[in-house]
Structure 1
Amino acid sequence: NRRWMGGMLTNFTTVKKRIERLQELRKLRDSGYFEQLPKKEAKKLQDELDRLMYHFDGIADMRRLPGAVYVVDPRKEHIAVTEANRLGIPLVAITDTNCDPDLIQHVIPGNDDAIRAVKLLTTKIADACLEGREQALERGEQLPAMEEREFLETPRYDLIEEYLEDEEDYLPGVTEEDFLGRDATEEVRR
């Protein structure tokens, strides 16, 4: 129900650290540690936990980048579409007439504003994913463990890793400000 935060996919290493902090704070709260602290410190930790839950609760079990991204309204969720395309993650989307289908690899034509239609399609897609997972297990296929790989250790991201190591070779004479833009560079330096 919340807007897609920029960097959820492209900055997954940082997002993963925030998810780990969320899980750490949950364990502390559940163990009763918050009650042992002075009120002010407990309130500070509870506020941090609430903020992390607000932003990351829906992806708290995600340990690696997804194999595909499902989007209901590509026009509204343009940040998610851009990030998935940038990383080469396939997109499945309910695409209305007001959306550009060229950005989506697997288009589902439909009314993304009709709640019943969205619920029906989303339920069918979720059921198909679960059924496919069961069939893969029945065939004896090994599904990757959630913790199996870090962001840049997958073959899909070798090119990105190589670029990060040798960015000067790829962009000779281009400053960080030229590449990212003045606003982004100032934000990074803060």
Structure 2
Amino acid sequence: MANLEYKDLLDAGVHFGHLTRKWDPQMAPYIFMEKNGIHIIDLNKTLVCLEEASKALKQVVRSGRKVMFVATKKQAKDLVADEARRLKMPYATERWLGGMLTNFATIRKSLKKMQGIDKLMKEESFTGLAKRERLMVTREKEKLERVLGGIADLTRLPAALFIVDIKREHIAVKEAQKLNIPVFAIVDTNSNPNEVDFPIPGNDDAYKSVKLILSYISEVIEEGLNERKREKDDAKSKEDEDEKRRVDEVEAVEESKD
């Protein structure tokens, strides 16, 4: 995993906060200065926070659990969806359905409904339906996939959330708080960093800034997944070796009897 440097953050504009009149006073520890009516984020603090977040995130994925990505703002949603799909992690990028975490049982019913429609559309009987009925089923599937497609494979609650813009995704933050699910997030100067477990102070509006931080976080997760795979492979190899040794010992005993 390539280390992020101060210059990388600077070039991506991670240091640009909001207008000073829009700030949240709780962000004061992460603000370096004010320039032309805009708060400038302390990138040294950003680097420290990224390091803390990466260590914790790696532990989550190494334990075999899922990190859910959340970003519904235009400049971040496609980036987040692409990375989440690549990592085979759940994501919400269209809109956050109220109760997506706190009422997960109901959400799972909707997921089963979506899977049922998908199965129906593959059956021969589907082509025998009237054109209007087929259209209604297709539209229903598209609607469900748009909102729930990113969590189609989620069978239990995620172990953590990674959020871009906690002010916009405040419902997701509140639901995670209720369920004690840790939240990792890019937090701009207009937000309260105390609302999340691992705030990453940075510009959550600029495409370049979001892309840089997201790419780094994705690399961390990928590294954690690879470490987990290596550990499982090593454990399997050891198991196979132990089994082979046991078989050899049994055969040796049998031969000695003969």
CA distance in 1 between counterparts of 2:145 and 2:125 reads: 18
In structure 2, the CA distance between the partners of 1:140 and 1:98, relative to structure 1 (3 Å rule), is same
Partner of 2:166: 74
TM superposition shift of 1:98? 0.5
Q: Is the 8 A contact 2:165 2:204 kept in 1?
A: yes
Q: Deviations over 1:112-156 (max 9, x none)?
A: 001111012112212211210220221239xxxxxxxxxxxxxxx
Partner of 2:196: 104
TM superposition shift of 1:59? 1.3
**Which of 104, 115, 121 in structure 2 is aligned with 1:23?**
115
CA RMSD of aligned residues (A): 1.5
SS in 1 for 2:116: helix
Q: Which amino acid in structure 1 is aligned with residue 230 of structure 2?
A: E
- Kindly, what percent of the aligned residue pairs are identical? 42
TM superposition shift of 1:36? 1.9
Q: Which amino acid in structure 1 is aligned with residue 181 of structure 2?
A: I
- Within the alignment, does 1:87 sit opposite 2:179 as a pair? yes
Higher strand proportion, which one?
A: 2
TM superposition shift of 1:28? 2.0
CA distance in 2 between counterparts of 1:100 and 1:32 reads: 54
Partner of 1:12: 104
Partner of 1:34: 126
Q: Is the 8 A contact 1:26 1:49 kept in 2?
A: yes
- Within the alignment, does 1:59 sit opposite 2:151 as a pair? yes
Gaps of 5+ in 1: 142-190
Q: Which has the higher contact order (CA 8 A, sep 6+)?
A: 2
Q: Is the 8 A contact 2:95 2:147 kept in 1?
A: no
When the two structures are superposed, what TM-score results if normalisation uses the length of structure 2?
A: 0.52
CA distance in 1 between counterparts of 2:201 and 2:175 reads: 22
SS in 2 for 1:140: helix
Gaps of 5+ in 2: 1-71, 73-93, 234-258
CA distance in 1 between counterparts of 2:95 and 2:142 reads: 17
Q: Deviations over 1:140-174 (max 9, x none)?
A: 39xxxxxxxxxxxxxxxxxxxxxxxxxxxxxxxxx
SS in 2 for 1:94: strand
When Rg is computed on C-alpha atoms for both structures, the one with the higher figure is 2
Q: Which amino acid in structure 1 is aligned with residue 108 of structure 2?
A: K
Q: Which amino acid in structure 2 is aligned with residue 64 of structure 1?
A: R
Equivalent residue pairs, number = 141
TM superposition shift of 1:32? 4.6
CA distance in 2 between counterparts of 1:33 and 1:126 reads: 43
Q: Is the 8 A contact 1:3 1:77 kept in 2?
A: no
Q: Which amino acid in structure 1 is aligned with residue 139 of structure 2?
A: D
- List structure 1 segments (4+ residues) > 2 angstroms apart after TM superposition: 30-34
Q: Which amino acid in structure 1 is aligned with residue 135 of structure 2?
A: K
